[in-house]
Amino acid sequence: MERKLMESRPVVLKLGGSAITDKLNQEPNPRSDVISRAAAEIIKAHVKNLVIVHGAGSFGHPMAQEFMLKDGFREEGQKMGFAVTHNMVSVLNGLVMDALLVDDFPALSITPSSCVVASDGRIKRFEDQPLRMLLRMGITPVMYGDVVMDERIGFTVVSGDQLASVLAVKLDARKIIMAGNTDGVYDGDPKSPGAKPYSRLTLADLKKIEDKLGESAGTDVTGGMLGKIVELKPAVEAGIPVNVVNATRANSIYRALVDEKVEGTLIEKG
Amino acid sequence: MERKLMESRPVVLKLGGSAITDKLNQEPNPRSDVISRAAAEIIKAHVKNLVIVHGAGSFGHPMAQEFMLKDGFREEGQKMGFAVTHNMVSVLNGLVMDALLVDDFPALSITPSSCVVASDGRIKRFEDQPLRMLLRMGITPVMYGDVVMDERIGFTVVSGDQLASVLAVKLDARKIIMAGNTDGVYDGDPKSPGAKPYSRLTLADLKKIEDKLGESAGTDVTGGMLGKIVELKPAVEAGIPVNVVNATRANSIYRALVDEKVEGTLIEKG
């Protein structure tokens, strides 16, 4: 009985923008091979109560940065940047949806800017009834990093990481799978030869790493992964484990979804 | 002072699915010329507090009918129809958004399935905070006929007409412009030679027409227009005039938006 209950708790799968798009490119550039394979692995895993969140990658970041959308509304010229950024990330979302729907996987996109309001960059209101009703019906909701209105600073950007964390806590998820473009959380720059991924990290470990980085935290030596994990801390603190895996490696997403052993970093409360 | 207050009340513009798509075609077929011209007229009119709603036309109706989505969820096979129909109408929405954004008009789409929940086919919950905040910021929200979750029948279809009416009442709109593919509400089949559009109709006139049609109402001799107007009655009853104009005629949308005289039917409370 308890096991059955456990199994029905949702899984939140975050597809990193760095995996499903070419982020080095300043032009919006999807990685169609990664998107298709991720979709195939999601369909094959057949997980009950799955929620998918994807990042914006090169469809969102370059323009969001150019117009400084995260810091809020300051001048008229930003409005078009805000509008076009949403349009771009919804194009990326369309590509993800196409990959799922073409193989008869019932999924529906939930547009963050239509149901989320932030306050100072943090999610404040979230109309989650449509999402919960979709889950109950067995249709997989798909959210994504997006621009949203903000009651203090006008508008802002809400990352897929923040959405994944908030959704996991709201839905009492069984786990979060962070599928990015590295083999987990590294003990240094993932591109440097000596760096290795941690296999397991606790909140206490994370605290130690953060302390060690100290004032150099601005230049995140872990390749930006630590910043993403800070966003997921509330979920880990709530007892939801986070599995950081590599979406660009075949079967990583599938294995993580069906709870098989998979290369990557497991972050747990303690 | 009073005039200023009047002017700040929003205008709801409904772009009919029969105008922006080829509805006779069972395949999704946009009328790009109508979409582009409508966008140009909207931009030229420069109306403060505009809300745009568009229909689904051939991007929504054929599949919604095939899977009987309006009548709710009955069997597993409908789920893909539900998911794909939403995907299709959001493609049409993308075309409308592109037409507005390409000419630097700040507009943001608000996805009905992400913020609306129906009950027995009627809008029950509507998280309208993002939409209201967009309006205050001077960014035009764009909604559209869509599939939505339904707390009684699982899911359903909410038409652009229902959305336009509910939005107008919610926002205390100054008027609703229904831009379709006829010159107004006709006294018979718009395609028959003798039929003429009414220039003005009151709720009492509408009642008379409905009574005259009597049991033949199922086969709507006005070319389906009467059914659309039934949807708008709550707005007319609330004192919001409805201007039925022809989106396929150049400048009709523009004239209606800037309150110039325009061919069409004006529906008023009395």
Among candidates A115, A240, A267, which has minimal Cα distance to A174? A240
Name every chain A residue with its beta carbon within 8 A of the beta carbon of B125: 127, 129
d(CA B115, CA B111): 7
Tokens of B77: 């096979």
List of chain B residues with pLDDT < 70: 1-7, 213-224
A82 with B139: Cβ contact below 8 A: yes
For residue B214, the model assigns a pLDDT of 59
Out of A114, A117, A151, name the one closest to residue B110 (CB): A114
CA-CA distance, A200 to A49, in Å (whole number)? 25
ipTM over 0.95: no
What's the whole-model pTM score?
A: 0.94
| Number of cross-chain residue pairs from A and B with Cβ atoms under 8 Å apart | 116
Residue A238 has a pLDDT of: 97
B119 chain-A contacts, CB cut-off 8 A:
none
Angle at B187 between CA B197 and CA B264, to 5 degrees: 20
Tell me the residue length of chain B. 270
Q: Spell out the domain ranges in chain A.
A: 2-265
pLDDT tens digit sequence for A202-214: 999 988 887 876 5
Run of H or E residues at A11: strand A11-15
Exposure string of B54-63, with b = 16+ CB inside 10 Å and e = fewer, is bbbbbbbbbb
Residue A157 has a CB neighbour count (10 Å cut-off) of 26
Model confidence band, residue A24 (pLDDT cutoffs 50, 70, 90): confident
pLDDT of A3 above 60? no
For residues A222-248, give the mean pLDDT. Answer: 89
Here the tokens at position A74 are 């300051």
Rounded Cα distance between B51 and B38, Å, is: 14
Q: What are B232-270's pLDDT values in tens digits?
A: 999 999 999 999 999 999 999 999 999 999 999 999 998
- Which chain B residues are Cβ-neighbours of A84 within 8 angstroms? 101
Residue A30 per-residue DSSP state:
B
Alpha carbon distance B64, B62 (integer Å):
6
Residues of B in contact with A117 (CB under 8 A): 129-130, 133
Give yes or no for a contact between A143 and A109, defined as CB atoms under 8 angstroms apart.
Answer: yes
Spatial distance between the Cα atoms of B270 and B255, rounded to a whole number of angstroms: 23
How far is the C-alpha of B18 from the C-alpha of B161, rounded, in Å?
A: 12
B 45-74 residues inside an 8 A Cβ radius of A: 73
Q: What is the percent of chain A where pLDDT is above 90? A: 81
Q: From A136, A130, A88, select the one nearest A110 (Cα to Cα).
A: A130
User: CATH assignment of B2-265?
Assistant: 3.40.1160.10
pLDDT at B187: 83
What does the mean pLDDT of chain A come to? 92
Per residue in A5-37, is it b (16+ CB within 10 Å) or e — as a string?
eeeeebbbbbbbbbbbbebeeeebebbeebbeb
Residue A218 has pLDDT above 60, yes or no: no
Mean pLDDT of A83-93: 98
- Interface residue A42 vs chain B (CB under 8 A): no
Q: How confident is the model at residue A26 (pLDDT cuts 50, 70, 90)?
A: confident
Q: Which residues of B touch A133 (CB under 8 A)?
A: 117, 149, 151
User: Hey, of A96, A127, A150, A157, which one would you mutate to test binding to chain B, going by the most B CBs within 10 A of its CB?
Assistant: A127
Distance CA(B113)–CA(B207), nearest Å, equals 33
Confidence tier at A6 by pLDDT (50, 70, 90): very low
**pLDDT value, residue B154:** 98
Distance in Å, alpha carbon of A117 to nearest chain B alpha carbon? 7
The single residue listed with the structure tokens 């991924």 is: A197
Q: Is the pLDDT confidence value at A246 over 50?
A: yes
Instruction: For residue A138, give the nearest of B79, B94, B134 by CB distance.
Output: B79
The per-residue pLDDT for B1 is: 41
